[in-house]
Amino acid sequence: MGAQPPQRHSLTVSSGLAAAGEASTWARTLAGQCGVPARRIEDLDLCVTELVGNIVEHGYRGRPGEIRLALSLGPDAVALTVDDDAPAFDPTSVPPPSRPASLDEASVGGYGIHLVRGVVDGWTYERLRDRNVLVAWFGAGAPRPRLCDRRSGGAATFPLVRGDGTVVDRDQRAGADRRALGHISRCDLFRGVAWTDLEALVSRCRLVTYEAGVTVLEPGPHSPSVLVVVRGSLRVHLEGPDSPEAFPIACGGSVGEISVADGKPVSAWVVTAEPCQLLLIEERVFLDELLAIPRVGRNVISQLAERMRRSNERIVERMRASAELRALQQELDFARRIQSNMLPAAPLLPDCPDIRCHGLMRAARQVGGDFFDAIRQGPHRYFLAIGDVCNKGMPAALFMARALTVLRGEAAHYDDDPAAQLARIAQRCNDQLAASNEAQLFVSMLLAIVDTAGARLDYCSVGHCAPVLVPPGGRPVFLEESRNPIAGIVPELAFRAARAAFPAGSRLLLYTDGITEAEAADGRQFGEERMLQVLEQVPEDPGSFPGRLVEAIDAFASGHPQSDDITLLLAGSR
């Protein structure tokens, strides 16, 4: 009776964090069922775990994909095949790590491939149809796949010129040279072409190695050669070698054909996306000899057609993105107008002769998270508020609308004790904003009640900048007595208010930190002192203050864009 044939099994796993564990369990279970010795099972498990984990982490890098595994299990030999469509990577060509001088100098990680090399009896790598195919075997009877030209039935035999000009004949070829010949045979330009038609031509080409980030073509003169990607990949940039937008040229692709064909300048920057091997086909060889092979000409047309289709798809994507951007700009502009209409219109409190109020809010973006308000609560009594929502843009604007709505609703409930009313408003706003706040946004506020008949000011700081009081004929002072936490994060907090004298002729400035933290290009901030200087220069009528303060901030910033909203509210009693 003959020997038992090996058992063959396969598994496909998704490129997630659990892929290595799933593949490990599968391999160990099957190997145990087939009677594979325990030591070989451990070696197989190490091989599966390290290879699959390396593909998930460094090949797919978080993007979805599938890894196919196949096991051939026999009593004396085991063969493992790992197949993925991640970017090209040959683990068999990775050089062994250098020995560190001391333990302190040793790196952490990065030895998985070398552990695999140490336990397998042999392995091979091929890039087939845009997939990485690695075969590793254990035992003397396992298959040993060959890297060869599968169309002609044997290994390629033509000489090759290395990047340093050395001609490598059949007797001098090392393993790296033989792998290079196998890679060349699978390039798109040579698809379906027998090596007997290419041997003499490609023997006159150069195989050159580049590090990652090298510009191999750039706009200017026409390309002197066609570049075929034998190993690695390239990026084509249309707006500069460092521009963020680029399209890839994968292993097996080529660039420079159009420039060589029409003699016109190169129109883009071509940069190595990773360490690369490029086959350089000189212009004369490409035009006079290579294109004379019908299949090569067909392959060139097919590549250019595919490249044109990709270019058209990118144009369509850009047009769609541009249309979506215009629609988004219109929506943001509409949101900005809605937000602006939510704030009180100027002039504030126009029918109140005993107080003058002026406010301003300038968003850093189309919409912002700052707000202010001024509400008459009764004869000679006025509720003032300013707020600053964390974050910017649409999320902050929506939270700002919610905060302002809650604030106005709570401020409508009159209380004879203004300090108690302010504390209650802050508490109710905090509790309502903290409810259903999955985004964990929060708001700082300064709430105040001015009683012009009683010549007093009650105020409550909810994690906000201290207000500025300017007494009649006096210097500005910061009111620091009321300090409370921000609102919107922790419910059921207690808040307290403070009181100050506010005789006729006094002024109260409420502001957000977008004013004091406005930056110049060198990183300097506008600061509190500059704000107070502008405030002292304004006459008793506060109407001109908002405009003059914004002018001072703009002059200080000198065109440097601001990252925060600029908001203020100035009130003065008569």
Residues of the chain with pLDDT under 50: 1-2, 102-103, 106-109, 142-159, 162-164, 169-179
Correct CATH for 345-573 of 3.90.550.10, 3.60.40.10, 3.40.50.720, 1.20.1090.10: 3.60.40.10
pLDDT attached to residue 17: 81
Buried b / exposed e over 539-562, threshold 16 CB at 10 Å, is: eeebeebbeebbebbeebbeeeeb
Which amino acid is residue 546, in one-letter code? Answer: P
Query: Which two structure tokens, joined as six digits, stand for 210?
Result: 């580049």
Q: Which residues are CB-neighbours of 262 under 8 A, at least 6 positions away?
A: 222
Which stretch of DSSP H or E encloses residue 339?
helix 294-342
Dihedral sign from CA coordinates of 407, 413, 417, 420: negative
pLDDT (0 to 100) of residue 163: 47
- In angstroms, rounded to a whole number, what is the distance separating the alpha carbons of residues 517 and 524? 9
Tens of pLDDT, residue by residue over 429-479, are 999 999 988 888 999 999 999 999 999 999 999 999 999 999 998 899 999
Q: Are 256 and 217 in contact (CB under 8 A)?
A: yes
Q: Is the peptide bond before 353 cis (omega within 30 degrees of 0)?
A: no
Q: For the domain 186-313, what is the CATH code?
A: 2.60.120.10
The pLDDT score that the predictor gives to residue 100 is 53
Amino acid at 17: L
Helix (H) or strand (E) holding 430: helix 418-434
pLDDT at 26: 92
| Distances from the Cα of 279 to the Cα of 189, 270, 286, 558, 570, angstroms | 11, 15, 12, 53, 72
Give the DSSP letter of residue 437: -
Query: Cβ(496)–Cβ(522) under 8 Å?
Result: no
Residue 321: count of CB within 10 angstroms of its CB: 10
User: In this predicted structure, what is the pLDDT of residue 158?
Assistant: 42
d(CA 125, CA 176): 12
CA–CA distance, 124 with 134 (Å, rounded to integer): 6
Q: Is the dihedral of CA 283, 176, 188, 14 positive or negative?
A: negative
Token pair recorded at residue 545:
């203050």
Rounded to 5 degrees, what are φ and ψ at 383? -100, 125
| Residue 69 phi, psi (nearest 5) | -120, 145
Place of tokens 């002192």: 529
Three-class SS state of 396: helix
CATH number of the domain at 7-97+110-138, please? 3.30.565.10
According to CATH, where is 3.60.40.10 located in the chain? Answer: 345-573
Q: Is this prediction's pTM over 0.75?
A: no
> Do 496 and 502 touch, CB atoms closer than 8 A?
no
Give the pLDDT confidence score for residue 151 in this predicted structure: 33
Structure tokens at 389: 């929502």
> Which of 445, 470, 444 lies closest to 457 in space, CA to CA?
470
Amino acid, single-letter form, for residue 45: D
**What pLDDT score does 128 carry?**
86
Residue 261, C-beta contacts closer than 8 angstroms, at least 6 positions apart = 287
Number of Cβ within 10 Å of residue 226's Cβ equals 26
Say if CB 514 and CB 521 are below 8 A apart: no
Start and end residues for every CATH 3.30.565.10 domain found in the chain: 7-97+110-138
Closest CA to 422 of 397, 458, 386, 388: 458
The amino acid at residue 301 is: I
| Rounded CA separation 324/320 (Å) | 6
Per DSSP bridges, beta strands 167-168 and 206-210 are: unpaired
Query: Is 127 within 8 Å of 88 (Cβ atoms)?
Result: yes
Instruction: Judge whether 525 and 536 are in contact, CB under 8 Å.
Output: no
**Residue 34 to residue 76: CA distance in whole angstroms:** 11
Which pLDDT does position 174 carry in this prediction? 46
Identify whether the C-beta of residue 411 lies closer than 8 Å to the C-beta of residue 397.
no
pLDDT at 539: 66
Which residues of the chain does CATH 2.60.120.10 include? 186-313
